[in-house]
Amino acid sequence: MKITSFADLASEAAKMTKKTVVAVVQAQDEHTLDAIVNAKREHIVDALLIGDEAKIRELLAHLGADAGDFEIVPAASQEEALKLAVENIHAGRASAIMKGKLESADFLRAVVTKENNLRGDGKLSLVGFYETKAYHKLFAVSDMGMNMTPDLDTKRAILENAVGLLRKLGVGTPKVAVLSESEKPNAKIPASVDAAELKKLYDAGEIAGCVVEGPISFDLATSAEAAKIKGYDSPVAGDADLLLVPDIVSGNILVKCLTGMAGATTAGTILGAKVPVIMMSRSAEAADKFYGIALAAVAAQ
């Protein structure tokens, strides 16, 4: 099934016969618990709720959920909660990890720390999916929250990580727009040079399973009308599945514009780890976190 909306994503995740068990670190967060409760109710995941047991039970009651339906793992501190989450993953009792009420930097540190053995063989990258009335399909942006100023090799890894997930979502040949300020390489703008190099790698057959265009501006990547007006011919123009951003600053600005001003619904996950990593902003709505859980459940398969 090709997933073209978050409704499709949730539906597909609910069909998985083997349920993903999410270890929620510092689960005493209302939006996080609301998302977990809904995901369990929709038969998408099961969960280990790790953290302040009394507060977790209080919030579950507030949400109208039965605490007896969940396994609650008490943790006296943030450090203990992270340690217990990692232990449960290695013991096979959990198959994904999710950030609750703690700083992203602290959560990520536990993921990347060598001793915790959660990293895969390649680069880690953050991908977000977005659904907005201003665009005709679900699309992805990467990397807007993990790799700060990626070099060419890292950008290639970010691209390939995201393409792999898009293919799992039924997008047979994802269309990748490597973003810059215009469609012409400029030696004074490194992002445009990297974009051109990625296109060359694609043309040479070294990047497969997708269509790569770059450098390409945001308007050409997302608007067929803009491409027509400017006479820009590319299968990616106006139909991009993945927007590959130059760095964390531009990516962060883009996605916050999408959610804050364009009203986009979002879901995100970290790719390249041994298990799906669900890391949403503390300000994210419960619905965004719900779809992030569904995304991780599909990725886990």
3-state secondary structure (DSSP) of residue 245: coil
Q: Which residue has the tokens 């609910």?
A: 14
Alpha-carbon distance 204 to 118, whole Å?
A: 33
pLDDT of residue 21: 96
Q: How far is CA 29 from the centre of its chain?
A: 20
Residue 220 pLDDT > 70 = yes
- Mean pLDDT of the 170-193 span: 96
Binned at pLDDT 50, 70 and 90, residue 197 comes out as: very high
Contact (CB, 8 A) for 275 and 118: yes
* CA nearest neighbour of 116 among 146, 91, 86, 95: 86
pLDDT of residue 283: 66
- What global pTM score does this model have? 0.92
Can you state the angle between helices 30-41 and 53-62, rounded to 10 degrees? Answer: 60
pLDDT digits (tens, 9 = 90+) for 94-119: 999 999 999 988 998 999 898 999 98
- Mean pLDDT of the 282-301 span: 85
Structure-block tokens of residue 135: 């665009």
pLDDT digits (tens, 9 = 90+) for 122-144: 899 999 999 999 999 999 999 99
Domain limits, the chain: 1-120+273-301, 123-270
- What is the average pLDDT score of the chain? 94
3-state secondary structure (DSSP) of residue 60: helix
CATH of 1-120+273-301, one of 3.40.50.10950, 3.50.50.60, 2.40.128.110, 3.10.310.40: 3.40.50.10950
The vertex-269 CA angle with 13 and 112, nearest 5°, equals 135
pLDDT of residue 284: 72
pLDDT of residue 209: 97
Pairing mode, if any, of strands 96-99 and 20-25?
Answer: parallel
Does the CA dihedral 128-191-168-116 come out positive or negative? negative
Residue 211 pLDDT > 80 = yes
Q: Is 140 exposed, middle or buried (0-12, 13-18, 19+ CB in 10 A)?
A: buried
* CA nearest neighbour of 154 among 168, 164, 143: 143
Which of the two residues, 120 and 262, has the higher pLDDT score? 262
pLDDT of residue 282: 65
C-alpha distances in Å from residue 193, one per residue of 65, 152, 186, 241, 254: 53, 9, 6, 22, 20
pLDDT of residue 121: 82
Contact (CB, 8 A) for 273 and 297: no
Q: Is 119 exposed, middle or buried (0-12, 13-18, 19+ CB in 10 A)?
A: middle
Q: pLDDT over 90 for what percent of the chain? A: 87
Binned at pLDDT 50, 70 and 90, residue 51 comes out as: very high
- Mean pLDDT of the 288-298 span: 92
pLDDT of residue 133: 93
pLDDT of residue 18: 87
The vertex-129 CA angle with 124 and 134, nearest 5°, equals 150
- Mean pLDDT of the 259-272 span: 92
CATH 1.10.40.50 correct for 123-270:
no
Q: pLDDT over 70 for what percent of the chain? A: 99
Provide the 10 A C-beta neighbour count for residue 283. 10
Range with the poorest average pLDDT among 40-49, 67-76, 286-295 = 286-295
Structure-block tokens of residue 141: 């942006």
Range with the poorest average pLDDT among 143-147, 190-194, 250-254 = 143-147
Range with the poorest average pLDDT among 40-49, 106-115, 184-193 = 106-115
